[in-house]
Amino acid sequence: MSDDNGNLLSVRDLRVYFETEDGSVRAVDGISFDVKRGETLGIVGESGSGKSVANLSLMRLIPEPPGKIASGSISFDGRDVLRLSPSEIRALRGKRIAMIFQDPMTSLNPFMRVSKQLMEVTQLHLGHTKRQARAHAIAMLEHVGIPDAAERVDSYPHEFSGGMRQRVIIAMALSCQPELLIADEPTTALDVTIQAQILELIKQLKSETGASVILITHDLGVIAGMTDHVIVMYAGRVFEQAPTRELFERPGNPYTRGLLRSVPDPTEDEGTLYQIPGQPPDLAHLPPGCPFASRCERAEEVCQKEFPPFVQLTPSHQSLCHFANEVYAETGATR
Amino acid sequence: MLRFIIRRVIVIVPMLFIIVSLTWVLVRLAPGNFYSGEKKLAPAVEKNLREKYGLDKPWYVQYGKVLKNIGRFDFGNSLKYEGQSVNQILLRGLPVSATLGITAYLIALLVGIIMGTLAALKPNSWLDYASMTLAMLGISIPNFVLGPLLVLLFSLTLFWFPPALWNGFPSKSLVLPALTLSAIYIAYIARLTRSGMLEVMGSDYIRTARAKGLSERQVVTRHALRGGLLPVVSFSGPALAFLITGTVVVERVFALPGLGNYFINACFNRDEPLIIGIVAFIAISVLVFNLLVDISYAFIDPRIRY
Ligand SMILES: Nc1ncnc2c1ncn2[C@@H]1O[C@H](COP(=O)(O)OP(=O)(O)OP(=O)(O)O)[C@@H](O)[C@H]1O
Ligand SMILES: [Mg+2]
């Protein structure tokens, strides 16, 4: 099964646009990345950089209209997701690719018992009878650490706390043992202590099933602790991608450096939290040059005029910057 | 839940009191009397009449009697239909109004929900525009215009349905009045359904349902309808109450012997007990149906606890 040198997922030059009154919003504007089997890929970037849109398109869940996958290819296990028929794509969703969303408070149907919401997945994909599905649902809830699962399975979502709901959602996502799990900021809506538990749970389940994971987050600490490989997104583009350690130790892009600097460091003086100045650009009216230029400390004239090249720093490390090599050299020297 | 119901039932009493009092005041303030016809009555006759019906007593005595009657659900005798109690008239008119109203109600729910859902599933499509244009028409054409138009077309031109007749349920005679009556409710329900469904279809849990691999039909029927129809539910209770308790204009247009028609006659005749009886009956129905809606909410939405 492992074609494409062990890649489960290969995205090439994906573009997703939203037609709005303000013009065409280029939410995702030509991104490429791979996810190997068993690997965890982290995606970071500021709000609005296209992380969610990119991942929703992997399951073809972009609302159309206004959205539209304008071009590109998404190859999952060797098949182009964009060419699948509606019933073929539905057979993938929830079975081979599953998703965990950001807000557990709104992601479950408030009018339906948790048991039913869990059961419908395996009844659909695994052909479970009601009884099998119910047993499976209880087992899944136990597995994700919900106490008294057999009794609580018939509760409604509002009877669970936020952390418990996210466990329910994880149980739901994992109930057919998907090969790819997409977790879109799975912990942003939760308390810090719960965050750690949920991440630990994802890690544990991943190691049990050997699934690949795409983990989207704002939190570079989470990226460091959970992922093998990272892509940094900005304005619908991949600005940098590298193995996780390499990215933290030797970033080759000013934007990544800015993100890393804005992580609070407990050993430094307090009160001097760094923030990248300015705002991300309007994705409907992108400037001709580098979309980060107006906020970049390192920007020169060429950055405003010409779109930057995607520079290959090492075989597994690329950066979208006119001065990628220089930045890479600098970060290497200060090590 | 039980406490909630008891509380709500208790609230009905003061509401009813206010409504009945206002009605009584309005009837009294209006010029004329039930015996004031074209020709002037002799003073002695008038005096006799006033005594017979207690109109010579001070206002608080008369008013007290009205309240007492209502407390016993006995609204007294009609002044115009001699020898008939208001309750008899209510019982005679209600089946007509209720048959008409429930038929119109079911038509409105069925057509309205289907129209609204289809519109919401394909927003900004021709289907959406067509249903919403129809809904707009339904809301803006008053039923005293729509009724005669339908009669003109289907009764007097095509001869499909009788123009003014009452044969009960089910009968051809029911079609045009029920259709006329339901038009505006179809329109309201279609619009409520559309906006409710649009909101739900964009919500996170619908995205979750799609991400599970459910088909669009399953997503709509299993996950979306329930939340999307909540606004329709809250509208449907009062709507049903209004529909079955007197559909004044439509009964008049089609000359149907229902509560609405009796009510108009009672007003023209200044038939005070009948007016108050019908108003009180309608008020109680509306209040009770509202309560039923609130109770049904608790069953539809598990988050609601009273
Ligand atoms: N339905 C939509 N209609 C119009 N524009 C949209 C729609 N959905 C997303 N966008 C636009 O696409 C861009 C990318 O959004 P996306 O949700 O992918 O960002 P994100 O990186 O996930 O941000 P966050 O960290 O806040 O979740 C945003 O500029 C947003 O305005
Ligand atoms: Mg997002």
Å from CA of A54 to ligand 2 middle: 9
pLDDT, mean of residues B286-291: 84
| Residues of chain A with C-beta less than 8 angstroms from the C-beta of B303 | 110, 156, 158
Q: What angle do CA A245, A251, A257 make, to 5 degrees?
A: 120
Mean pLDDT score of chain A: 87
**Touching check for A19 and chain B: CB below 8 Å?**
no
- pLDDT band (50, 70, 90) for residue A267: low
Q: What percent of chain A has pLDDT over 90?
A: 40
pLDDT, mean of residues A13-37: 90
A120-169 tens-digit pLDDT: 999 999 999 999 999 999 988 988 888 888 889 999 999 998 888 888 99
Tokens 């029911």, located at residue = B174
N-to-C CA span, chain A: 41
pLDDT, mean of residues A1-10: 69
**Touching check for B301 and chain A: CB below 8 Å?**
yes
| Residues of chain B with C-beta less than 8 angstroms from the C-beta of A106 | 203-205
Q: What percent of chain B has pLDDT over 70?
A: 94
Q: What residue of B is the nearest CA neighbor of A94?
A: B212
Å from CA of B85 to ligand 1 middle: 69
To test the pocket of ligand 1, the residue of A28, A51, A232, A239 to mutate (highest count of ligand atoms within 8 Å of its CB) is A51
| Residues of chain A with C-beta less than 8 angstroms from the C-beta of B301 | 110-111
Q: Is the pLDDT of residue A215 over 90?
A: yes
Q: Give chain B as a DSSP string.
A: -HHHHHHHHHHHHHHHHHHHHHHHHHHHHSS--TT--SSPPPHHHHHHHHHHTTTTS-HHHHHHHHHHHHHTT---B-SSSTT-BHHHHHHHHHHHHHHHHHHHHHHHHHHHHHHHHHHHHSTTSHHHHHHHHHHHHHHHS-HHHHHHHHIIIIIIIS--S-SS----SSSGGGHHHHHHHHHHHHHHHHHHHHHHHHHHHTSHHHHHHHHTT--HHHIIIIIIHHHHTHHHHHHHHHHHHHHHS--HHHHHHTT--SHHHHHHHHHHHT-HHHHHHHHHHHHHHHHHHHHHHHHHHHHH-TT---
Give me the pLDDT at residue A1, please.
Answer: 45
Q: What residue of A is the nearest CA neighbor of B202?
A: A63
> Which of the given ranges, A64-73, B31-40, B112-121, has the highest pLDDT on average?
B112-121
Tokens 């804005």, located at residue = A262
What is the position in ligand 1's atom list of the atom closest to the CA of A54? 18
* Residue (of B169, B85, B183) closest to B134 by Cα position: B183
Å from CA of A85 to ligand 2 middle: 26
Is B263 within 8 Å of B230 (Cβ atoms)? no
Give me the pLDDT at residue B284, please.
Answer: 86
- Given an 8 Å threshold on Cβ–Cβ distance, is A110 in contact with B303? yes
Q: Which structure tokens are listed for B32?
A: 């004329």
Mean pLDDT score of chain B: 83
Give me the pLDDT at residue A335, please.
Answer: 56
Cα–Cα distance, A234 to A151 (Å, whole number): 45
pLDDT, mean of residues B168-181: 77
Å from CA of B224 to ligand 2 middle: 23
- pLDDT band (50, 70, 90) for residue B39: low
Q: Which residues contact B198 (CB under 8 A, 6 or more apart)?
A: B120, B123
Cα–Cα distance, B244 to B106 (Å, whole number): 12
CA separation, residue B257 to residues B94, B106, B168, B263 (Å): 9, 21, 11, 10
Of A48-52, B4-8, B89-93, B153-157, the least confident: B153-157
Q: Which residues contact B56 (CB under 8 A, 6 or more apart)?
A: B47, B50
Q: Which residues contact A226 (CB under 8 A, 6 or more apart)?
A: A40, A42, A199, A202, A203, A215
- pLDDT band (50, 70, 90) for residue B97: confident
> Which of the given ranges, A123-137, A253-267, B278-292, has the highest pLDDT on average?
A123-137
Give the orientation angle of helix B2-29 with respect to helix B59-71, to 10 degrees.
140
Estimate to the nearest angstrom the gap between the alpha carbon of B113 and the chain centroid.
19
Give me the pLDDT at residue A204, please.
Answer: 82
Q: Do you know the residue count of chain A?
A: 335
| Residues of chain B with C-beta less than 8 angstroms from the C-beta of A63 | 202
Q: Is the pLDDT of residue A334 over 70?
A: no
Q: Is the pLDDT of residue B168 over 70?
A: no
Of A96-110, B157-171, B218-232, B283-297, the least confident: B157-171
Q: Which of B125, B128, B200, B212 to mutate to test the interface with A (most CBs of A within 10 A)?
A: B212
- Given an 8 Å threshold on Cβ–Cβ distance, is B210 in contact with A93? yes
A269-295 tens-digit pLDDT: 666 677 888 888 888 888 888 899 888
Cα–Cα distance, B119 to B128 (Å, whole number): 4
Å from CA of A283 to ligand 1 middle: 10
Q: Is the CB of A279 under 6 A from ligand 1?
A: no
Give me the pLDDT at residue B246, please.
Answer: 57
Q: Is the CB of A66 under 6 A from ligand 1?
A: yes
Q: Whose CA is nearest to atom 30 of ligand 1?
A: A48
Of B12-16, B76-80, B136-140, the least confident: B76-80
Give me the pLDDT at residue A182, please.
Answer: 94
Q: Which of A95, A109, A156 sits opposite B213 (nearest CB)?
A: A95
- pLDDT band (50, 70, 90) for residue B296: confident
pLDDT, mean of residues A169-175: 89
Q: Whose CA is nearest to atom 7 of ligand 1?
A: A18
- Stronger pLDDT, B183 or B40, i.e. the higher one: B183
B4-33 tens-digit pLDDT: 888 888 888 888 889 888 988 888 887 777
B204-261 tens-digit pLDDT: 999 999 999 999 899 999 999 988 988 888 888 778 877 876 578 888 888 888 888 8
- pLDDT band (50, 70, 90) for residue B197: very high
- Stronger pLDDT, B173 or A222, i.e. the higher one: A222
Cα–Cα distance, A1 to B209 (Å, whole number): 29
Across B254-267, b (16+ Cβ under 10 Å) vs e yields bebebbbbbbebbe
Cα–Cα distance, A152 to A137 (Å, whole number): 11
Q: Is the CB of A42 under 6 A from ligand 1?
A: no
- pLDDT band (50, 70, 90) for residue B83: confident
Q: Which of B202, B211, B212 sits opposite A120 (nearest CB)?
A: B212
Cα–Cα distance, B93 to B98 (Å, whole number): 9
Q: Which of A94, A108, A110 sits opposite B211 (nearest CB)?
A: A94
> With a CB-CB cutoff of 8 Å, which residues 225-254 of chain B face chain A?
226-227
* Residue (of B206, B299, B213, B256) closest to B96 by Cα position: B256
Give me the pLDDT at residue A266, please.
Answer: 65
> Which of the given ranges, A1-5, A218-222, B299-303, has the highest pLDDT on average?
A218-222
Of A57-66, A89-98, A195-204, the least confident: A195-204
* Residue (of A247, A250, A258) closest to A333 by Cα position: A250
Provide the whole-model pTM: 0.78
* Residue (of A99, A246, A268, A273) closest to A184 by Cα position: A99
Q: Is the pLDDT of residue B288 over 50?
A: yes
Cα–Cα distance, A108 to B154 (Å, whole number): 50
**CA count, 13 A, side-chain hemisphere, A283:** 20
Of A15-19, A316-320, B16-20, B70-74, the least confident: B70-74
> With a CB-CB cutoff of 8 Å, which residues 131-160 of chain A face chain B?
156, 158
Q: Is the pLDDT of residue A265 over 70?
A: no
Q: Is the pLDDT of residue A2 over 50?
A: no
- Given an 8 Å threshold on Cβ–Cβ distance, is A103 in contact with B204? yes
Q: Is the pLDDT of residue B111 over 50?
A: yes
* Residue (of B275, B305, B291, B259) closest to B79 by Cα position: B275
- pLDDT band (50, 70, 90) for residue A222: confident
Tokens 């509760």, located at residue = A155
Is B232 within 8 Å of B238 (Cβ atoms)? no
Q: Is the pLDDT of residue B38 over 60?
A: no
